[in-house]
Amino acid sequence: MRVFVLLFNARTENEGIHTIQLGNRNKVLMFESEDDATRFGVMLEAQDFPEPSVEAIDDEEIKEFCDSVDYDWELVPAGALAIPPEDNVTQTQWQPEPEPELEPEPDSEVSQNELDSIRRRLEGLL
């Protein structure tokens, strides 16, 4: 069966799956409905999470992943209103992708004297 999960940094080396932490256990939510998963993702963003991607994945693949990392899983039926917990972890096991660095502007090749001269000529035109 195809289910929908929330991923952060989808299809990168730094990919992470959204889990809910209950005590010392992590639980992956598998949504039957893409709309429900999207709604849950929007609620996470409202809690200052990075924007998650809603990804369709076979439920057996998620169950195998959960078994391999000792996570629990829960199937969220279509139409059920899942709400993120109010408390969030402060340190995730993945890191948001860094913002691309802007290239520094090259140093101006025009001297201050040349700028003053250009300014005077422009003012003279007024």
Residue 111: its pLDDT value, please? Answer: 76
Highest mean predicted confidence (pLDDT) among 20-24, 54-58, 107-111, 112-116: 54-58
Q: Are 40 and 48 contacting, i.e. CB atoms less than 8 angstroms apart? A: no
Strand, coil or helix: 106: coil
Indicate the average pLDDT of the chain.
Answer: 83
Buried b (16+ CB within 10 A) or exposed e, 101-124: eeeeeeeeeeeeeeeeeeeeeeee
Q: How many angstroms separate the CA atoms of 2 and 13, rounded?
A: 23
Helix count (H) and strand count (E) of the chain? 3, 6
Range with lowest mean pLDDT among 35-39, 51-55, 64-68, 84-88: 84-88
Q: Is the pLDDT of residue 37 over 60?
A: yes
Q: Are 26 and 20 contacting, i.e. CB atoms less than 8 angstroms apart? A: yes
Q: How do the residues of the chain divide into helix, strand and coil, expressed in percent and rounded to 5? A: 30, 25, 45
